[in-house]
Amino acid sequence: WNKEHPYVERHRTANRKRLDEVIPDIIEWLRNPQSMMLEGKLKSEVAHFKRQVLKFYLNNEGKLY
């Protein structure tokens, strides 16, 4: 999409938009689960993130599924 034809996000839920923001963190965690990226987070935030991560995997080329 471009400026003349922007991607319309009206139909997307707030949860899906938040997930889009977290995807880079999910990829980082899947590449390196020993990462310190969750340090300083609340236990509930870490647990929620880890539950989200279980829904994804990276293939051999590093593509997220």
Q: What is the pLDDT of residue 1?
A: 57
What tens digit of pLDDT does each residue of 42-57 get?
A: 999 999 999 999 999 9
- Measure the CA–CA gap between 10 and 59, rounded to whole angstroms: 31
Q: Which of 6-10, 11-15, 35-39, 43-47 has the highest mean pLDDT?
A: 43-47
Residue 29: CA count within 13 A, CB half-sphere: 18
Choose between 29 and 14: higher pLDDT.
29
Per-domain boundaries in the chain: 1-65
Q: What is the pLDDT of residue 63?
A: 95
- Measure the CA–CA gap between 48 and 54, rounded to whole angstroms: 10
pTM exceeding the 0.75 threshold for the entire prediction: no
